A = this chain, B = another copy of it.
């Protein structure tokens, strides 16, 4: 990644090495190529990002924001494409947030490829990428956390008790830095989406939250940066998550109303495949996440399964 221009609207414009090579290879009509190369602003400090957002807002433009932890895949890019029409300026962030990882989780090994991520965000029409340093986000005296108290105590919150406290806190920080009018989150992280919607409502954040559909591989596996941890055999075991959701939908369509029976069948099915360790299988209210015994209205079925070292999640709204 090489800096081409310094100080463009208080930020810097970078191009990836690959694009730079293409750029240099053009021997004639440099000015034409300058306008053809899609540029993206890379912003690395809280202050510069806040200043840029202030300027964009003062021009009467609407900012759309997609926060990510990087190692982007089509799921992330779909959030950006989904968000694009909601405003005039599309901002993505790439930040692996330490406060949502517990000791022993995969913070250190979480996959990273910032250079590739920047190219992908360019291709998705992003105008600016915010890539802060951890030390700029969390100084040594950091001590403020946002808790969405009830919604954080279900599903993933049981085995990851500090996870949603970390998520809510980093998201409100990013909102205060990027100052978006609209923010887009994936339905694949369903609990995260409802936690953030609740936080936005409770804390009166003047931001529209858009939920975007889960993007899947051709075989149905929900896209996740953690899929990269899977061996070929584990990849097959990982398909049981989506297969379970589809099977449950079929059973419910046939008239099954007993949530426990569906959960037991699912458990057996997943456990029959190698390298699987179930964290939870839940059938619950889509708004409160409280477990439901009798399925007589649309429910959320959500599951978390460790396949090898990859903790995978998936979910679906199932309607009787």
**A198 interface hit (Cβ, 8 Å):** yes
In A3-56, the 8 Å CB interface with B consists of 46, 50, 54
Docked pose: A146 CA to B199 CA in angstroms:
10
Q: Are A146 and B143 interface neighbours, CB within 8 A? A: no
Residues of B within 8 A of A50 (CB): 204, 206
**A150 interface hit (Cβ, 8 Å):** yes
Chain B residue, CB-CB nearest to A169:
B203
Chain B residue, CB-CB nearest to A172:
B203
Q: Tell me, rounded to whole Å, the shortest Cβ–Cβ distance linking A182 to chain B.
A: 15
**A135 interface hit (Cβ, 8 Å):** no
**A144 interface hit (Cβ, 8 Å):** yes
Docked pose: A7 CA to B57 CA in angstroms:
26
Docked pose: A58 CA to B150 CA in angstroms:
37
Residues of B within 8 A of A246 (CB): none
Residues of B within 8 A of A206 (CB): 50, 54, 176, 179
Count chain B CB atoms within 10 A of each CB in A50, A143, A147, A199 and give the residue with the most: A143
Contact A177/B204 with A143-B150, A145-B146 known, Cβ cut-off 8 Å: yes
29 contacts between A and B (CB under 8 A): A50-B204, A50-B206, A54-B206, A57-B57, A58-B58, A58-B60, A139-B201, A141-B198, A143-B148, A143-B149, A143-B150, A143-B151, A143-B198, A143-B202, A144-B147, A144-B148, A144-B168, A144-B199, A145-B149, A146-B147, A147-B147, A169-B203, A172-B203, A173-B202, A173-B203, A173-B204, A176-B204, A176-B206, A177-B204
